[in-house]
Amino acid sequence: MNTKIQCPICYKNKTEIFNNSTFFYRSFTCEKPRNIHNNYLCRNCGLIWQNPQPSDNELSKFYADQYRKSPSKVSFYKKSVDLPIQLKESQNSFLRAQAFLNIFKKLNLSLPKNGKILDIGGYQGLFAWTLSAFTGLKAKIIDYNPNGLKFASSFLGIEQQQISNDILLSLLENTKNTFSIISMIHSLEHMRDPKEVIRLSTELLKDNGYIYIEVPNSLGSGLNDPTHLYTFNKNSLTLILISNNLNPIYVESGSLTHQAEPEFSNDRVVIRALAQKTNFIDKDFTNTKKSNYKIIIYKSLYLASLNTIYQMIKKYIKETFFIIIKIFGWIIYDFLPFGKEFFHTLKNFLRR
Ligand SMILES: [Zn+2]
């Protein structure tokens, strides 16, 4: 069954249709029903990808309708005005820079002192801006969204930017050997040809430069977002890097840097990878790994489902508990003769 479909990353034929609606666990960032397109799973490297991919028209519609759907909007009759950027999502981009800096600290690396920063899919520019603040290097961002780029130039002073409808063409317009940090923060999974994006990015990278990637992890992340054309795990992401002569000096799964909803509250919801150019790469990496990723992924997703249910129940119990405490507090304060006195004494006691 479907054995002829080849994995786009490891090129093996050990692939099969993967039905993500058998899991309770899902991502709520997108309200679209799951499985609009078939997902395939590669048992050899663990990659999950949509096949066939949604058309450009479908994708634009998903992005316009659902993606970063605004919780804050001011309307007047039929017209509505929105904030220039999604504030919460922007704060998250800012906090993701902390994860990048933590990796440098952990590996005892110092930040680059020359060259430029390129953030591919940089949206409103906050990740690149944060790295600029720490390195003093100029940043450039590439994104499809004009609103994000406008914010980056007018509020963050990021002058170098490129609006992009075709990421491969946009990358080709840049000068080779220019950038000392190239980052892709939750953008690689949206691209039609991630392998080629990494290949062209490597050409733009200076010899001692770093490529940094953060993507959702198939072992702990919802899989129903129709704009995610690929979902990686540590192994498939590593394969992309080494097949482009990049040395993966750090590839780890982890939790988010910001507060998250129960479905994103696990310790392997994302993968972070840092890599540098090299000439010595073990390209047989794919043949030396003998894991069956079907079993690994199914197991992880069932565990993630259970964890989500547990986190949700915990959240509701906690909220209910605090409501009950509040109601008791009000009753004591307002209706019992010694109530007010008791609270004032308690307040003074806590102050000391
Ligand atoms: Zn594969």
Per-residue tens of pLDDT for the chain, all 352 residues: 545 799 999 999 999 998 777 776 665 544 555 556 788 999 999 999 999 898 888 888 777 765 555 667 788 888 888 777 777 778 888 999 999 999 999 999 999 999 999 999 998 999 999 999 999 999 999 998 888 899 899 989 898 989 888 999 999 999 999 999 999 999 999 999 999 999 999 999 999 999 999 999 988 877 777 888 999 999 999 999 999 999 999 999 999 888 777 777 788 899 999 999 987 766 666 555 678 888 888 888 888 888 888 888 999 999 999 999 999 989 988 888 888 888 889 889 988 7
- Give the list of residues 6+ apart from residue 237 with CB closer than 8 angstroms, or none: 213, 215, 251, 271, 273
Output the CA 85–ligand 1 centroid distance in Å: 36
C-alpha 164 to ligand 1 mean position (Å)? 29
pTM of the model: 0.86
Q: How far does residue 248's CA lie from ligand 1's centre (Å)? A: 18
Q: Tell me, what's the pLDDT at 84?
A: 76
Distance 15 CA to ligand 1 centre (A): 8
247 CA → ligand 1 middle, Å:
19
Between CA 303 and CA 156 the distance in angstroms is 41
Provide the pLDDT for residue 2. Answer: 46
55 Cα: distance to centroid of ligand 1 (angstroms) = 23
Q: Cα of 65 to ligand 1 centre, how many Å? A: 32
Centroid of ligand 1 to alpha carbon of 11 (angstroms): 6
* Bond from prior residue into 52 cis (ω within 30 degrees of 0): yes
C-alpha 104 to ligand 1 mean position (Å)? 29
In angstroms, the CA 112 to CA 20 distance is 41
What contacts 28, CB < 8 A, 6 or more positions away?
222, 261, 263
Tell me how far the alpha carbon of residue 316 lies from the centroid of ligand 1, in angstroms: 40
For residue 46, the CA-to-ligand 1 centroid distance in Å is 6
Q: What is the CA(272)–ligand 1 centre distance, in A?
A: 19
**160: CA distance to ligand 1 center in Å?**
36
If you measure from the C-alpha of residue 241 to the centroid of ligand 1, how many angstroms do you get, rounded to a whole number? 14
CA of 284 to the centre of ligand 1 (A): 13
> Ligand 1 mean position to 142 CA, how many Å?
28
Q: How far is the CA of 234 from the centre of ligand 1 (A)?
A: 12
Element (DSSP H or E) covering residue 156: helix 146-156
Which residues are within 5 Å of ligand 1 (an ion), measured at CB?
A: 7, 9-10, 42, 44-45, 47
CA of 244 from ligand 1 middle (Å) equals 16
What separation in Å is there between the alpha carbon of 255 and the centre of ligand 1?
25
CA 292 to ligand 1 centroid distance, Å: 11
φ/ψ region of 245 (left if φ > 0, alpha if ψ in -120 to 50, else beta) reads left
57-81 burial by CB neighbour count: b if 16+ within 10 A, else e?
eebeebeeeebbeeeeeeeeeeeee
CA distance 255 to 45: 22
